[in-house]
Every structure is written in structure tokens, then in C-alpha cells.
Structure 1
Amino acid sequence: MVPVLAQDDLEEDLASVNAQLDQVASSIEAAEGERSTLATAVVATRDRVDLLLGSVAQVTAELGTARQAVRDQAIRIAVVQETLVRLRHDLATTRAELKDTEADAEAWARQLYMTGGSDQALVVLATNDLNELGIGMAYLSVVSRETDRTLLDLEALRRQEQRQIGAAANQQQILEQEQALLVEEEARVSGLLAEQIANQRAAEVELANERSLLTTVEEEIAHFEGELAALEVEQDRVRDAIRAEAAKAATAGTEQPEVASSGWVRPVPGAVTSGFGPRLHPILGYYRMHTGWDMSAGTGTPIASATAGTVILAGWFGGYGNTVVVDHGGGLTTLYAHQSSLAVSYGAAVGAGDVVGYAGSTGLSTGPHLHFEVRVNGNPVDPAGYL
């Protein structure tokens, strides 16, 4: 609760609160600008991460295709290599058979010569030109009837196998060249994938950092907004206190206390509604001594000390309600009853016209007013002698 201070102090407090409000509002504005920037950055980075994820998936698929192509090409090369091995083996077998057949033919020719065989057959079997063998096939068949193949068939088979080996070797060379290109493409795609993954991870780290900063800024904004709300409450309280002080000052300014010829100050400006002496009590309903004045005063009207003195009572006093009693010395005291609130405490020194409290209707009272008494050595006397 804002304490009751002098007007100048309250104005200073209000200026301080306003300055703090401006500062916090500026901090909120700056933080909101930073939040907007970070939110935009988060969206952009998240979109970039999504694009990189798509790119990584695409490149991963391309790499899988490239690797499968390399594997398929390796299988094709392996098949061609197996064919080459088989063809070379067959060619070696054919060459061995051809050599054995040629050796057998020469042996048979020598045997035929030694046994007196035909000179013509010897000439045919002794020739080194296989193309000429066809001329003497009829005769040669007599000599080589036990041979599985003719020399002509073996030569044709050898040439065919050589052609097949050449074709297979050429195919292997082409496949190996293609495989080299595929391996190169696989390496390129693999490098691209590594680069894309690195970019994706970097973007994810950046996104996490931006989100962390955004969270921090949002927490700062929430903190500032809490400070702002508290300062606005404080601002309202100070303003209420200023208005209250202003109202009191206005009341004091328009209702200056009257000063009697004795030098005493009239406690409130209102008229005396019930004087000193016996009267019919308005609440108790019987006649009794009225030991003071009842003076007209609305709730909250400032009550002035009639003259200088020391407060010897400030608090609840039975049927008087909230009461202040001031000792003026020489056995003279004044009493101010039924107050709504007190402005002084026990032992306080007051001067003539100082506010000791505010009018009300506490205690045994029918409505807001001031009950004022003057006593000499404890005995009530008519205030008219002093006012």
C-alpha cells in the first residue's frame, strides 16, 4: 500500500514509476522486435532443413542406383571373364588335339612309307598347308580313319574359338571402361551425399540455436510484461494517493479554521447542532448532561486542535469511539470524539490548527459529526468560553 506522503514526494514517486514504465515498455518493444526477427529466421531455417532432407533422400536414392549399377556391371564382367576362361580352356584343348592329330598323321605317313604305301598319300600327309588337305581327303581318310576329328575340323574350331576370345576380350574391355565410369559416378554421388548430410546437420544445429534464442527472448518478454503490470498497479496506487492528497488540500484550502478572539481555533467549520448542558439523549432516550458541543461535519472532514498542546490519548474511548485528547497545560484539556480515523498518536506535540483526525460516526453516535469538549481539571466546561 502506498504510504501517505507529501504531495511533492508522491509526484516524485509517480515520475519514477513512469520512467520505469517507459524503460520496461522500450525493453518489451526491443525484445518483440528481436522475437519477430528470430521467428522469421526459424521459419527460413526450418524450410532449408526440409529442403536439405528432401535433397538427402534424393541423393541417397541416386547413390543406391549408382551402387546397384556398379554391382550389376561387376556381375556382367564376371560372366564375360568366365566365358573367356572357358573359351581359352577350349582353345587350349583344341590346339592340343590338333597337335596330337598332326603328330599321328605324320606317324601314320611314315609307317605307310616304310611298308610301301602310296607315294601320293605320303605327299598329302606331309604337306604343311592345311588348305591343300581337301584335295587328298579321300586318301587321307584311309590313313586317319581312327582319328576323332579331321585336321580341317580342328583348324576351323581353333579359328572360331580365337574369334570368340577376341569378341569376349573386347566386350570385357568395354564393360571395364563402363564400370570405371560407374565407379566414378558412385564416388561423385557419395561425395555429394556427404556434403548434403553435413549441410543438413549444420542447418539443424542452427535451427536448434535459433529456437533456443527465441525461447529466451519470449521468457524475457514475459518477465518484462510482469514488471510492466506491477508498475502499472503501482502507478495507479500513486495516482490515487495524489488525488487523495489533492482532495485533502482542497478541503483545507476552502474551509480554513476560524480563530476566536481568545486565539483558539474552531475545530471544524460546521455549526453547533447540540450545545453544552442538560438534554434528552438522542439514543438513550432520557435527559442527561451534554458535556460538550456537537458540531456539524461530514465524514473525512479534517479536525483541528483548538490550541497547542500534547496528545495524551489517541484511540478508542468507549462511547466516544475514536478519540483524541490534547493536554494544554494548567489542567486544561480538549477532546475530539467519534473520529473516522486518527492523524496523531500518543505523545505527539500539536499546534493550534494542526489536524488531529477526521470526522466520522464511531462509538455512540447517530451520524457523522464532531463531539468537542473542554475540561478544566477533568471537569467539563462550556466551550463557548473559549470559542
Structure 2
Amino acid sequence: MRLRHVLAGAVLPLVLCASLWLVLPLGSEASPQGRAASLQKKIDTTRGKIGRRKGTEHVLTSDIQRWSTRISKLQGSISTLQTREQRIQADLDARRNELVSTQKQLRSERARLARLRARLAEGRRILSRRLAELYEADKPDLVTVVLNSKGFADLLERGEFLGRIQEQDNNVIKLVRDAKADATATAARLDKLERRQQQLTTIVLQRRDQVAQVKQQLIDTRVGYQQTRNDKKNALGKVRTERKSLETHLDELQKESDKVQAQLQGGGSLPAGPIKGGSGRFIWPVNGPLTSPFCESRAWESCHPGIDIAVPTGTPIRAADGGRVAIAGWVGGYGNYTCIQHTASLSTCYGHQSVLKVSVGQSVSKGSVIGLSGSTGHSTGPHLHFEVRVNGAVQNPMNYL
């Protein structure tokens, strides 16, 4: 029992220490140094995500270019199909007009054939009756007509009557013969027109099917075009939205990191160091290696508008020349941004500062400290973004340093 109490007395302090160690915040995390390290880790993670999004944007841009080429080809196919549809529609209209004309002519020929057949039937009936009459009556010879006549006048009258009968018989025969020939010819034309009607009907149906097929092809092609365009916009828009959201989050993290850096420095800054001159009009605003030259091409911009000089956060920034402060504040991707007007057309600008030490309208001399370097705005790490502008247009700073 005594041994148990002894062990309990020895173990209990150890348990309490372990519990306090687990419950209480770590010194490294709770301290400004811990916060700075944590923020830097989050910043690095966010920058990695932004880099991946930019890479995705680059891939999507290339992919969109390929799709744009395909879409251009599809648009050419659509134009070709539209021309073909118009041509087939014109041909279809012509065939329909020809069919209407043929059907009208066919109806006329059918009516004429019916009339001819009725006329032929009537002629045949008359001819049959006349033949029956001739068969039943003896053919009068010239002697009988002369002997039975009551004089010369009666003879002439009977001769004229016989001539008229002969003429009428000839007319009936001619009528029957002509009607038969006309009916035969009309029947042949009618048969030809009927075959033509069938051919035209088949052609019209084929053309109609072709037009329907071409229209369906046009619809399918346009649907594909719309779908491709929408997919392209949605994919690019989604990635850009994600990147902008991450960049906004990165700006907030960087601002907080700069505050922590200022806290760690006790409100002060690193030593300003000696002034670095060159062969040009301006002095170097900071002493550090050049990490990005002027007009460098990047994934998000075709021409970097200044130069980047790598220095630790909190490094004093000197005015490249004397002048009046025209801009001093937060400017989008530049973060904390200062511009100094040296002449009516010449000015210099300083981006991504952690602290601004001048205000708009203030006069500064060459070499005076105007702020502290940092990584505010759209920045990949602590550095100074330095610009030279003439009438507002960026110039290569190396020509002035």
C-alpha cells in the first residue's frame, strides 16, 4: 500500500505536466515567431495552389486554342451545309413547280382523252349504223337512178343526193379514223406524263429527305458548337475564379505576415545600408540581386512592367531621386505602392512594400527612406518591384540606374 502511494506521488506530477503540455499552446506557435512561421507556411501553400491554378489556366488556354481551331472548322462545315441546304431547297422548289405543271397538263390530257374516246365511240356508232343501212339496202346503180327519175331536174337532184351521202360516209369514216389515231397518240402522251409524274414524285421525296438530313446535320453541329463553347467558358471561368479567390486570400495572409514582421522588428526596420549608385541618373532603391528583368514574360502577363530586386522584408527603400510623392497607398496587385514625380514626365514607382513612410504631396530628397520592403499584393516572396515611367508609360529601369 505504501509503495502504491509512493508511485502515485511520483507519477501524478508527470501526468499533470504532460496534460499541461498538451492543453497549453506551444510557445513557438503562440509567439510572434510561431505566428510568422505558420503564416509563412500558409503563404507558401497558397502560392503553390495559385501556381497550380496558373498552370491549369495555361493548359486550358492551349486546350481552348485547339478547341477554337476545331470550332472554326465546324463553322466552315456549317456554312457549307447551309449552302448545300439552300441549293437543295431551290432544286426542290423547281421540282415541285415542274410537278404541279405536269399534273395540270396530265389532267388536261386525261380530259381530252375522255372527250376523244366519247367522240370515237359516237363515230363508231354512226359508222356501224350506216354500214347496217348500206347492207340492208341495195347499192343504187346509175341505170336505176336514171330510169326512176322524173326528168332531168329530178335526175340532177338524185345525183346530188347520192354525192352528199357518199361525202357524209367519207366524213364519218375520216372522223372515226382521226379520232382513233388521236386517241392512240393521246394515250401514249398520257402514259409518258404518268411515268414523268412518278419520276418527279420520287425526286421530290428524295430531295425532301436530303433537306431534312442536312437540317439535322446543321442542328447537331450547332449543338456541338454551343456545348464546346460553354465547356470552354465554364472551365476557364472556374479556374480563374479559384485563382482570384486564392490571390485575395494570399493578400490577406501577406498583410498579416507583414504586420507580424513589423511586430518582430519592434516597429523598426533593417539597416538602410549604403547608397548604391550607378552610371545613370537614379540610385538603386535597395541593395539586392535582380530576380526579374524588365518585360519578362510570365503566365499571367506578357511583359513584366518593372524589375524585381530580392531583399528581406523590412529593408528600407530609398527614393531613386528627389521629387514629390504622387501615389502612396494600396494599389491592387502592387500592394503598398508609392510613386514619386521627379519631373513633369518622369517618375519612379515602388511596389509590394510592407510599410509606407511617406504620404501624397510630400517632398522627398534623393536617397531618403520612403518605405520598407515586403510582399504585399500579388507577390511570390519578399522583394521590391521597381518601375520607371515616362508620361505614365513604363520604361526599362536599367537605362536610368
Name the TM-score, length of structure 1 as normaliser: 0.49
Name the TM-score, length of structure 2 as normaliser: 0.47
